Chain A
């Protein structure tokens, strides 16, 4: 039976007990050191889990960040944290970045986190590929509040150029970047923005040597699949568990492409059937995708940790390193 390589994407649930340490740190009741230690302890548990299921690729679980947009604060300056906004149609909220000044890359903090991840992975014996996570330029521009740039197009290009310099400096040991671009399928995105996206990605990824995984989730808008596939990345990611009705269209388009298929619904506690997952991913291969990676369909914050563990372990039955 064919084994599919596993890729774990995005964030792993930050347990309430870790949440408590964050609250205490923010209230000035515990030191940065204690927080760091606690984050690393939980991250090490996560990486052990990932190792156990035989994931070929994984993030570090993004435990240190409140939400996806929060990650950008560790690699970009020029923005402040704004009000809480709903993250797509979830009962989950993120702090809206408010762009007050020209965006500039900040390397130090982000790279030192990644360095820490590399060392931790070594310690727990995780030998898969660690991915750095960034927010895609379109998603960033649509989920932030631009108070500096004249136009969104300008913002997208500036973001891409700055993040490019971050990606060109990734530490040895980080061999892939995971770009989160769920907004590419969002309703009501201006055509003029979509038209600039290819340019933005050229800028974002020019001279970046590591593998590039472009990740989308929640929806697939079939009229934009071609646009997505025109972007210069190595792996194209789709949430298929929530979009079973358009797999026919999707699979016709991914011939000779490397794809990531999100097969675990991270917005429902219902456990998937292994046979269903196997059927849909085998179909993608039959239809000619050059490689099919499988994993969780979206960030994992939306369901309890206990359910996440159960779901991730299903992957072991269909995939493996």
Chain B
């Protein structure tokens, strides 16, 4: 894989262009066809890919613009799930939390169209495909069917494994399993790690896991057991405090370092990113560090999301130069 030192990437999601949201509303109102919507989704993917290109992201995604939500999307396409209605997460924010009412089974490819299209429009063969991991899928669903959450999660792992195989066959070289919930319940972390490993068993691709907000202490001792190349984390929002913890547990994977706070509209400056990266490099060698935002950029206005990517890329370039100067001085 041809990539510069400190490769830059995104976590996955990116704000949908405003016009896409309007097209979706038109489709909901029955005023345009499914084909029109599909075309708009593809156009949106092109638009996002171009934002990533201009910003200079080394490993882009399609912004997950075709997916409404990270659990719902897969629950709608696997057998065994049912939706009763939206639930609130806070204030006036809602999501459709699915219920598992039957044995979970893989029926048909879920992301194949998306990946094939992304491949056709990507400016690099090194695009990334994200998929929600088995623990997070299970944790964010109601369990009406299985004796235990563990049983449910391992069936999910099987289904996800089938899906990832088909994505790799279609040409995906970099797969990221999203597990933002993996550290939600201390007692369950050990088998959650096993389940993630089950979901990527036998997969020949560059593999990474995304973990964000929460108490990393709960998952830190198990990170090296994940059979992946890289784990990326939200770090900026914690002012890089978890680096010490990662070092202490002897973290030996590649580190995807979150250097952009996705919950804050303030755009980090390139110098700030550079400085943060130099802090990170005090803990981990540059060959083992990738650069990314803390989490998906979806919640920001598109303009801000774009500016944050630009700063991240420019800050990384400054850091690369600084490293080079250091080399030359030696």
| Chain A contacts to B: CB under 8 angstroms | 13-14, 16, 19-20, 22-23, 26, 66-67, 84, 89, 91-95, 267-270, 301-307
| Nearest 8 pairs of A and B residues by beta carbon | A304-B85, A19-B92, A93-B90, A270-B144, A304-B84, A269-B142, A269-B99, A66-B91
- B140 nearest CB neighbor, chain A only: A91
Contact sample, A vs B, 5 pairs, CB 8 Å cutoff:
A22-B92, A67-B90, A89-B184, A268-B143, A305-B85
Q: How far is the CB of A45 from chain B (nearest CB, A)?
A: 16
Most buried by A among B92, B97, B143: B92
Report A-chain residues with C-beta under 8 Å of the C-beta of B250: none
Contact call A306/B88, Cβ cutoff below 8 A: no
Taking A91-B97, A269-B142 as contacts, is the C-beta distance between A307 and B84 under 8 angstroms? yes
> Which of B94, B140, B184, B185 has a CB less than 8 Å from the CB of A19?
B94
> Which of B92, B93, B144 has a CB less than 8 Å from the CB of A268?
B144
Contact call A92/B88, Cβ cutoff below 8 A: yes
Report B-chain residues with C-beta under 8 Å of the C-beta of A84: 90
- A301 nearest CB neighbor, chain B only: B88
Taking A268-B144, A270-B142, A306-B84 as contacts, is the C-beta distance between A94 and B92 under 8 angstroms? no
Interface residue tally of chain B, by bracket? 20 to 34
- A23 nearest CB neighbor, chain B only: B92
Report A-chain residues with C-beta under 8 Å of the C-beta of B143: 268, 270
Report B-chain residues with C-beta under 8 Å of the C-beta of A94: 90
Q: Is the interface of B mostly helix, strand, loop or mixed?
A: strand
Contact call A306/B85, Cβ cutoff below 8 A: yes
Identify which of residues 295-314 in chain B touch chain A, using a CB-to-CB cut-off of 8 Å: none
- B184 nearest CB neighbor, chain A only: A89
- B213 nearest CB neighbor, chain A only: A86
Report B-chain residues with C-beta under 8 Å of the C-beta of A269: 84, 99, 142, 144
A78 to B176, CA, bound (A): 45
A14 to B89, CA, bound (A): 11
Identify which of residues 77-108 in chain B touch chain A, using a CB-to-CB cut-off of 8 Å: 84-94, 97, 99
Contact call A19/B88, Cβ cutoff below 8 A: yes
A219 to B84, CA, bound (A): 26
A132 to B143, CA, bound (A): 33
Q: How far is the CB of A36 from chain B (nearest CB, A)?
A: 16
- B144 nearest CB neighbor, chain A only: A270
Report A-chain residues with C-beta under 8 Å of the C-beta of B85: 304-307
Q: How far is the CB of A68 from chain B (nearest CB, A)?
A: 12
A18 to B268, CA, bound (A): 36
Q: How far is the CB of B75 from chain A (nearest CB, A)?
A: 13
- B82 nearest CB neighbor, chain A only: A269
- A86 nearest CB neighbor, chain B only: B214
> Which of A26, A92, A270, A304 has a CB less than 8 Å from the CB of B86?
A304
Contact call A303/B90, Cβ cutoff below 8 A: no
A307 to B184, CA, bound (A): 25
Contact call A14/B88, Cβ cutoff below 8 A: yes
Contact call B87/A302, Cβ cutoff below 8 A: yes
> Which of A22, A23, A95, A303 has a CB less than 8 Å from the CB of B87?
A303
**Known interface pairs A93-B89, A303-B84, A306-B85; 7 further A-B residue pairs with C-beta atoms within 8 A, sorted by A's residue number:** A19-B92, A20-B92, A22-B92, A267-B142, A269-B84, A270-B143, A304-B86
Contact call A89/B91, Cβ cutoff below 8 A: no
